[in-house]
Amino acid sequence: MTDRPRAAALELLRAVREDEAYANLALPQIVHGFGLTGRDAAFATELSYGTLRGLRWYDAVLAECVTRSYDKVEPAMKDVLRLGAHQLLAMRVPAHAAVDSSCTLARDLGAKPGADARAGFVNAVLRKVAQRDAAEWAAQLQRDADPDDPDWLGVRWSHPTWIVRAFRDALGPRQAELIDVLQADNAAARPSLVARPGRMTSEELIELPEVDPGRWSPLAGLLVEGTPDMLACVRDGRAGVQDEGSQLVALALTRVEVPDDHGRWLDMCAGPGGKAALLDGLAQERGGSLLAVEQHPHRAELVTRSFAPGSASRVVVGDARHAPWGDELFDRVLVDAPCTGLGALRRRPEARWRRTTADLAALGGLQRDLLRTAVSAVRPGGVVGYVTCSPHLAETEFVVADVLRGRDDLQLVDARPLLPEVEDLGDGPTIQLWPHRHGTDGMFLALIRRSG
């Protein structure tokens, strides 16, 4: 009989591979369809997400164990082998259970006449995998490779080589932390919650038995187990699901000194509404309001729903590059720019395999256009917060430097003193958060004040 949690994990791998599904959206539907709850749902999540994160590493190990070319193994069989390899090398699953359950999955893949052959193939390959643990396989595969070579590190820690190089460059003089970054991407992140100002206090949030205090943000809580939607405060909008890094960069923008702040705030890329909901609550407490801009109507509707009942904030559907707010100027402007999302790979297990260097070129022009529009929309004395969920220099420092070049009326504000709760924020004036240092997504923040 097929093991339902493992069958669900195999179905997710198929959906990601064939349908280009997003794992975080597809898995809840698959889990529900297989009738999984509790430990079975958690097992399916760890098995599928862990396998997706580790694809490059598991493929390298499996290629050593297949007598024919691994490239010629059919994709569905590769998925079965990858699930088995993850159980053997990264989970506390007995070898016989990992191998036997994988053989069962292989039998169920296709027509009955070939079932025994498929199972026999999987059995032979995975028994070879089981002969070594992860450290022994690393020693076997490294052979003569330089241990610091980005290509080898990409194999061992299952990242595309170009991302390894990007992280190394972004770390600068702290490149010794590179393996820590890669390992952090491969560790599941606990769901982070935010108590939305004016609707719920952080004290009320962390008093819930299912929630622990956050590490840095005064508004954060960490879910102990289960899923966020099991909490009434999440279902009714008093709390939201939001990484602490996202909370911190939004809070920094609200804490920077702006003389004569009249509470006219702008969020230029507001969908799906996490930071907008936080800014809306804080603006309301100060007697102000937020104008949120979102290009896509369905995401704009999500932003509207995120606002507090009776909020004076509003949403405009339009392209922020073309300033749909007209000639209005704002005290504080947030540009949470579309980016590669390399700072959130731990939460999006398939994303590392879908992004390419071509995305940097496509996004770079958009990021610069948005930031240029933002500095035109902020009033003299006001501040723009440029944010990305990526540490890639092409999406962070280089964008800011290009926009500031030749502009005497724009100055970077040191963002570090605005987050006194947070340790190890670097040399400034910008901030780069890291999963391995801060336990957050890799959020970048530059604060830019317009003078004159």
Contact present, 377 and 389 (Cβ < 8 Å): no
Quick: pLDDT tens for 2-12.
699 999 999 99
What's the whole-number average pLDDT of the chain? 96
| pLDDT in the model for residue 156 | 97
Q: Which are the contacts of 406, defined by CB distance < 8 A and separation ≥ 6? A: none
Report, as an integer, the average pLDDT of 191-214: 96
Please tell me the distance from the alpha carbon of residue 326 to that of residue 369, in angstroms, as a whole number.
16
Residue 53 has pLDDT above 70, yes or no: yes
Check: CATH 1.10.940.10 for 4-135? Answer: yes
Handedness of CA 33, 39, 42, 44 (dihedral sign): negative
Residue 452 has pLDDT above 80, yes or no: no
Report, as an integer, the average pLDDT of 28-42: 95
Quick: pLDDT tens for 228-238.
999 999 999 99
Q: How many H helices and E strands in the chain?
A: 20, 12
Contact present, 364 and 341 (Cβ < 8 Å): no
Catalytic residues: 389
Class of domain 244-450: alpha beta
Residue with tokens 């003299």: 380
Report, as an integer, the average pLDDT of 352-359: 96
| pLDDT in the model for residue 371 | 98
- Exposure on the CB side of residue 221, measured as CA atoms within 13 A: 28
Query: What percentage of residues in the chain have a pLDDT greater than 90?
Result: 95
- Exposure on the CB side of residue 282, measured as CA atoms within 13 A: 21
Residue 227 has pLDDT above 90, yes or no: no
| pLDDT in the model for residue 143 | 86
Name the band, by pLDDT with cuts 50, 70 and 90, for residue 1: low
Report, as an integer, the average pLDDT of 212-218: 97
Q: What is the 3-state secondary structure (H, E, C) of 118-129?
A: HHHHHHHHHHHH
Quick: pLDDT tens for 276-328.
999 999 999 999 999 999 999 999 999 999 999 999 999 999 999 999 999 99
Quick: pLDDT tens for 376-390.
999 999 999 999 999
Quick: pLDDT tens for 151-186.
999 999 999 999 999 999 999 999 999 999 999 999
The residue count of the chain comes to 452
Q: Could you tell me where the DSSP H helices lie in 270-419?
A: 274-285, 297-306, 351-354, 357-377, 397-404
Contact present, 158 and 53 (Cβ < 8 Å): yes
Q: Which are the contacts of 199, defined by CB distance < 8 A and separation ≥ 6? A: 237, 238, 239, 281, 308
| pLDDT in the model for residue 110 | 79
Query: What is the phi/psi pair of residue 254, to 5°?
Result: -80, -15
First to last CA, the chain: 73
Handedness of CA 381, 387, 391, 397 (dihedral sign): negative
| pLDDT in the model for residue 113 | 81
Report, as an integer, the average pLDDT of 78-107: 97
| pLDDT in the model for residue 124 | 98
Query: What is the phi/psi pair of residue 373, to 5°?
Result: -65, -40
Helix (H) or strand (E) holding 41: helix 38-53
Residue 142 has pLDDT above 90, yes or no: yes
| pLDDT in the model for residue 280 | 96
